[in-house]
Chains A and B, each alone.
Chain A
Amino acid sequence: MGNKKTVLVTGAAGSLAKRVIARLHGRYNVIAVDFRRKVETDADVPSYKVEMHKRGFEDIFRTHKVDAVLHIGRIFAHESDRMRRYNANVLGTKKLFELCRKYGVGQVIIHSTYFVYGASAYNPALLDEDAPLKASEVTQDLVDSVELESLAQIYLWKSPELNITILRPCNVLGPGVKNSMSLLLSRPLVPVLMGFSPLMQFLHVDDMADAMVLAFEANKPGIYNVAPEDWVAYQDAVAQCGCRRLPVLSIPPALPKLVSTLLNWNAFFPPYLVNYFKYPVIIDGRHFRDTFGWKPKRNLNDIFSYYRKNKLLAA
């Protein structure tokens, strides 16, 4: 073990965290934490099933001298109800920050999302990190994402010793990814809003894992968008992933939300994300790219071909 730093990774059962752990393993002492299950890990990676807002979480900090936390885990909207999600995502993160202060953790990386900017018709393109976070204006279901962010931002100035880095990636896709967008593009038939095909950005989960590790190792606290310099319209992406389109009437605006609710599309086309399939939320990833000298290694075609091939195999 020796002088190696100890890194705690949350959401360890997820595809992004798994990749991050694989990259850190060997160079650091890694601790894997997940609220869903005790993750199978390599022999020297301790693994815990614990909910962050519950008491057992502190025991990890008592047992291990944690140097850094990579907070990746979050409950998605389709995994739980609003109340439980709020508890886990917002109160859990608050608990995490408090424990980090108490036990002298020197660095925290927060995995946020571009959803916090909100999908509004009035959004300019290439949103900077200082653009207002309007997601909660659009829907109650994204309040926890926005609050998690504001919490992290409060600690960013309140506790500079925590060296907080907040990453706001665009849509992350790839093998094993189970977010809404990935579940959506894995389906053979996907809803599209008639007359709307907003521009989107996609990042391969391996590139996101590289970005996280880079942000951790370079340790330059701040808020960063993470996105490639490439853009594609949603309906083109749908076609590229080998999906057939299911047109949904887009007016009146309440209709697609109603359809999504009635047909229970909660996992892949939830009512509260409908606006993201209507208006573009294009973020400017230049700050991260310039600060960390990062560039994604996989292009849009690499990302889409995974979904395309999976459909061919299933057929």
Chain B
Amino acid sequence: MALLSFDTLKQLASVSPREALYQRLVTPELQELFARIPKPVGSFGYDPWGYNENSALLGLGVVKWLYEKYFRVEAHGLENLPARGRLLVIANHSGQLPMDGVLIGYALATNPNGPRAPRAMIERFFPTVPYLGNLLNSLGAVIGDPLNCSKMLEQEEAIIVFPEGVRGSGKLYKHRYQLQRFGNGFVHLAMAHNTPIVPVGVVGCEETMPSIANIAPLAKLLGIPYAPVAFPVPLPARVYLNFGEPIMFDGPVGDEEEVTARVEQVKERIRDLIDAGLKQRTTVY
């Protein structure tokens, strides 16, 4: 008797709480937008780097709230992003957690001029972390191996790269908006694969997790790149993304110095875009 009534009750509720949450996150509009993303996948929705279309769609639903409500992102220059074809999106890195990557990714995925499946290059230790490694892969992130990047560009993917790496994301609050050393790899890849570079200036992520110090011994102990002394949850700072015009570099080059000069050129553009973002900003939080 008790069983019967339980079943009846279950039938009375039209959808389970889990289903209801999913439907709230993944709205029909989002699904429609997602369907426009040109992304080839295999018969179970995976691509060779572990991207999964169901996870990516759900991830987009979750980030939508972060993007619109929490960080209240303002994106400018989205028309500079090509709707198709290989692409390197190069940005400044900040804020301890890769929130900037997530937000740029969402901007790419929801670009009204042509949505793209964003890919990101992540630290090599991530795959060793249970759950997190698989989750990041399923959303489109891969370890930052040059072979991964080459093959992705050959398959016309749009890749977000932070050439500062942990030097940028782990820097202290007192160094905010000071660009750290850029790696040269992205320019080599852009030239080798004839890929346009779209520079991005990110403003606001520095203020999401201001760090006053880095406990290097603790980081070493845990096997992570840095251990910031900061508020443990990202603060709701307003974020401004400024996308610049695509830059093309022709190869080959004479020596590495020429590559470095080109990297500096991109860095200069990003500096301008950050300045533009700082001017747009009227209030930090």
Answer yes or no: do A and B interact.
yes
A residues contacting B by CB (< 8 A) are: 121-122, 124-126, 128, 193-199, 229-233, 236, 250-251, 279-280, 282, 284, 299-301
B151 at the interface (CB under 8 A from A): yes
Task: Give the residues in chain B near A251, CB-CB below 8 Å.
Answer: 130
Q: How many A-B residue pairs have CB under 8 A?
A: 77
- Provide the B27-69 mask, 1 if CB < 8 A to any CB of A, else 0: 0000000000000001110111110100000000000000000
Cα–Cα, bound, A124→B47 (Å): 13
Selected from A121, A126, A229, A282, the residue in CB contact (under 8 A) with B127 is A121
- Lowest 9 A-B CB distances belong to which pairs? A195-B130, A230-B42, A124-B145, A124-B147, A195-B131, A121-B127, A232-B44, A124-B148, A231-B46
Cα–Cα, bound, A193→B127 (Å): 13
Instruction: Find out whether the CB atom of B142 lies under 8 angstroms from the CB atom of A300.
Output: no
Q: What residue of chain A has the Cβ atom nearest to residue B132's Cβ?
A: A195
B174 at the interface (CB under 8 A from A): no
A195-B134, A280-B50 are known contacts. Are A121 and B124 too (CB-CB below 8 A)?
A: yes
B residues contacting A by CB (< 8 A) are: 42-44, 46-50, 52, 124-125, 127-134, 137, 142-143, 145, 147-148, 151
Cα–Cα, bound, A279→B145 (Å): 15
Task: Give the residues in chain A near B42, CB-CB below 8 Å.
Answer: 229-232, 300
Query: Would you mind naming 17 contact pairs between A and B with Cβ atoms under 8 Å apart?
Result: A121-B124, A121-B143, A122-B124, A124-B143, A125-B142, A126-B48, A195-B131, A195-B132, A199-B46, A199-B137, A232-B42, A232-B46, A233-B46, A233-B50, A250-B130, A280-B50, A300-B44
Cα–Cα, bound, A231→B128 (Å): 20
Cα–Cα, bound, A199→B48 (Å): 8
Instruction: Find out whether the CB atom of A282 lies under 8 angstroms from the CB atom of B43.
Output: no
Cα–Cα, bound, A198→B75 (Å): 35
Task: Give the residues in chain A near B132, CB-CB below 8 Å.
Answer: 195
Task: Give the residues in chain B near A282, CB-CB below 8 Å.
Answer: 48-49
Give the Cβ gap from B44 to chain A, nearest Cβ, in Å.
4
Cα–Cα, bound, A125→B152 (Å): 10
Give the Cβ gap from B56 to chain A, nearest Cβ, in Å.
14
Q: What residue of chain A has the Cβ atom nearest to residue B148's Cβ?
A: A124
Task: Give the residues in chain B near A199, CB-CB below 8 Å.
Answer: 46, 48-50, 137
Q: What residue of chain A has the Cβ atom nearest to residue B147's Cβ?
A: A124
Cα–Cα, bound, A282→B127 (Å): 14
Cα–Cα, bound, A102→B95 (Å): 67
Cα–Cα, bound, A195→B137 (Å): 12
Task: Give the residues in chain A near B151, CB-CB below 8 Å.
Answer: 124-126, 284
Cα–Cα, bound, A92→B186 (Å): 47
Give the Cβ gap from A305 to chain B, nearest Cβ, in Å.
13
Give the Cβ gap from B76 to chain A, nearest Cβ, in Å.
34
Task: Give the residues in chain A near B49, CB-CB below 8 Å.
Answer: 125, 199, 282
Cα–Cα, bound, A11→B6 (Å): 58
Instruction: Find out whether the CB atom of B134 lies under 8 angstroms from the CB atom of A196.
Output: yes
Give the Cβ gap from B132 to chain A, nearest Cβ, in Å.
8
Give the Cβ gap from B108 to chain A, nearest Cβ, in Å.
21
Q: What residue of chain B has the Cβ atom nearest to residue A282's Cβ?
A: B48
Cα–Cα, bound, A251→B131 (Å): 12
* Extra A-B contacts (20), CB below 8 Å, given A121-B128, A198-B134, A233-B134: A121-B124, A121-B127, A122-B124, A124-B143, A124-B145, A124-B147, A125-B142, A125-B151, A195-B131, A195-B134, A196-B133, A197-B134, A229-B42, A230-B42, A233-B46, A233-B50, A236-B44, A250-B130, A280-B50, A284-B48
Cα–Cα, bound, A98→B18 (Å): 64
Cα–Cα, bound, A230→B42 (Å): 5
Cα–Cα, bound, A198→B48 (Å): 11
Residue of A196, A231, A251, A301 with most partner-chain B CB within 10 A: A231
Task: Give the residues in chain A near B131, CB-CB below 8 Å.
Answer: 195
Task: Give the residues in chain A near B43, CB-CB below 8 Å.
Answer: 230, 232, 299-301
Cα–Cα, bound, A21→B137 (Å): 41
Task: Give the residues in chain B near A198, CB-CB below 8 Å.
Answer: 134
Task: Give the residues in chain B near A195, CB-CB below 8 Å.
Answer: 129-134
Task: Give the residues in chain A near B127, CB-CB below 8 Å.
Answer: 121-122, 279
Instruction: Find out whether the CB atom of A125 lies under 8 angstroms from the CB atom of B134.
Output: no
Task: Give the residues in chain A near B134, CB-CB below 8 Å.
Answer: 195-198, 233
Cα–Cα, bound, A124→B133 (Å): 14
Task: Give the residues in chain A near B148, CB-CB below 8 Å.
Answer: 124-125
Q: What residue of chain B has the Cβ atom nearest to residue A128's Cβ?
A: B147
Task: Give the residues in chain A near B128, CB-CB below 8 Å.
Answer: 121
Selected from A125, A128, A196, the residue in CB contact (under 8 A) with B130 is A196
Cα–Cα, bound, A137→B42 (Å): 31
Q: What residue of chain B has the Cβ atom nearest to residue A301's Cβ?
A: B43
A194-B130, A195-B130 are known contacts. Are A125 and B48 too (CB-CB below 8 A)?
A: yes
Task: Give the residues in chain B near A301, CB-CB below 8 Å.
Answer: 43
Q: What residue of chain A has the Cβ atom nearest to residue B40's Cβ?
A: A229
Cα–Cα, bound, A302→B47 (Å): 19
